[in-house]
């Protein structure tokens, strides 16, 4: 089978680039007969091997349609990785889909769908998702909540396949990981990581810590991140708000906040150093989380908010999902994971099962089923 991706690709700093790279690597492992071409945005690096070609040839700043079409020769299946910020909301992507030769099957992964009621562009986001989805032969989504929106808009259920976000499996030693970041060796480390943004609700974790410290003093919140390079003034002020809250609530001795960027290569060690990872965000996008799957891949207990983004946590334990802004509930779940051995072991066992079920190899095999179904291979 000859497969082509349209996507961003490494070393471009982009979550979709990382996602596509992991998927391509896994496909090459599980399907020896597949040859892959990545028609990448021009910030990627060119690659040429026996089974993989990466062509960094198009730009989101220009009319990429004709450029991409030039590279579709000898292709059975075209797989587009869609995210709003990459392709825009104009007619270019629909024109591209309409112009693909009819003998090439079109697969579309839609990574994010934003409902009209929560979009600054009203119905444009979800209507654009429908516009491109109706032109695809098969659509891959990560969440049932995404499927419900597309079906409401009129996309046939038999075109849609739910495949979870892939999981990178890591097992870094806890002691070595803590030494790497100069963390207390015998403490209980509760991790939040990534760019610091208001929707991640760090203030809820800080308030939860005040409840936890009434029962035990060995728990630390580790905020492993800082604002993004493109941070708005509001996001910069949010960091100062968090720092002020830490001081006012007198929890500075139990909050580790170096306020610096941690590169991707540090993330497995951040996970290795932690006992629990928090994702108590509040946002309305219907999209999966790569960071969430990194924590699963490290076998770490996760606590998340009961929002569509983290709906798959119920596959491990619905009891790990809390309501947004619920600092007392967050504290209670943290304490139970730390103090109830039976519950913690149950969660860890289920986490290990789920990371195998969603490993990149497992996810790649599910993709191959979609490609075969579409092309009748």
**Mean of the pLDDT values across residues 351-376?**
97
Look up the pTM and report it.
0.93
pLDDT in tens, 324-361: 999 999 999 999 999 999 999 999 999 999 999 999 99
Strands (E), 239-359: 255-256, 276-279, 286-287, 302-305, 321-322
Distance CA 143, CA 156 (A): 16
Which domains does the chain show, CATH number per domain?
Answer: 2-165+360-375 (3.40.50.2000), 174-357 (3.40.50.2000)
Q: What is the H or E stretch that residue 84 is in?
A: helix 84-87
Whether 12 and 43 have beta carbons less than 8 Å apart is answered as yes
* Terminal-residue alpha carbon distance, the chain: 8
User: Looking at the predicted structure, is the pLDDT value of residue 293 above 80?
Assistant: yes
Per-residue pLDDT for 120 more than 90?
no
359 DSSP assignment: B
Contact 12, 41 (CB under 8 A): yes
27 three-class SS: helix
Tens digit of each residue's pLDDT (9 = 90 or more) over 70-96: 999 999 999 999 999 999 999 999 999
Per-chain mean pLDDT for the chain: 96
Q: Count CA atoms closer than 13 A to 309's CA, side-chain side.
A: 22
Q: Please, are residues 283 and 306 in contact by the beta-carbon 8 Å criterion?
A: no
List the single range of 56-65, 154-163, 185-194, 368-377 with lowest mean pLDDT: 368-377
């Amino acid at each position: 089978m000859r497969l082509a991706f349209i996507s961003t690709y490494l070393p471009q700093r982009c979550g979709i680039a990382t996602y596509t790279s992991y998927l391509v690597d896994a496909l090459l492992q599980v399907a020896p007969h597949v040859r892959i071409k990545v028609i990448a945005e021009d910030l990627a690096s060119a690659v040429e091997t026996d089974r993989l070609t990466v062509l960094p040839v198009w730009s989101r700043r220009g009319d990429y349609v004709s450029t991409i079409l030039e590279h579709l020769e000898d292709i059975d299946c075209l797989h587009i990785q869609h995210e709003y910020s990459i392709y825009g909301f104009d007619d270019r992507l629909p024109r591209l889909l309409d112009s693909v030769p009819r003998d090439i099957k079109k697969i579309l992964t839609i990574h994010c769908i934003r409902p009209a009621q929560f979009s600054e562009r009203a119905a444009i986001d979800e209507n654009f998702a429908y516009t491109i989805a109706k032109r695809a032969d098969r659509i891959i989504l990560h969440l049932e909540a995404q499927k419900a929106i597309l079906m409401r808009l009129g996309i046939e259920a038999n075109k849609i396949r739910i495949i979870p976000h892939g999981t990178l499996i890591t097992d870094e030693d806890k002691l070595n990981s803590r030494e790497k970041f100069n963390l207390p060796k015998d403490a209980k480390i509760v991790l939040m990581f990534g760019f610091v943004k208001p929707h991640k609700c760090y203030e809820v974790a800080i308030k939860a810590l005040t409840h936890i410290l009434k029962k035990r003093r060995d728990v630390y919140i580790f905020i492993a991140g800082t604002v993004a390079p493109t941070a708005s003034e509001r996001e910069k002020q949010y960091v100062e708000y968090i720092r002020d809250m830490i001081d006012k609530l007198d929890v500075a001795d139990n909050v580790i906040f170096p306020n610096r960027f941690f590169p991707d290569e540090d993330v497995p060690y951040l996970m290795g150093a932690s006992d629990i990872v928090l994702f108590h965000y509040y946002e309305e996008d219907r999209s999966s989380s790569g960071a969430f799957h990194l924590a699963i891949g490290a076998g770490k207990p996760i606590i998340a908010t009961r929002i569509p983004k983290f709906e798959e946590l119920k596959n491990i334990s619905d009891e790990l999902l809390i309501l947004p802004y619920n600092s007392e509930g967050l504290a209670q779940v943290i304490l139970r994971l730390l103090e109830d051995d039976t519950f913690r072991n149950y969660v860890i066992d289920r986490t290990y099962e789920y990371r195998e079920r969603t490993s990149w190899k497992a996810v790649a095999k599910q993709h191959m089923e979609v490609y075969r179904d579409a092309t009748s291979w």
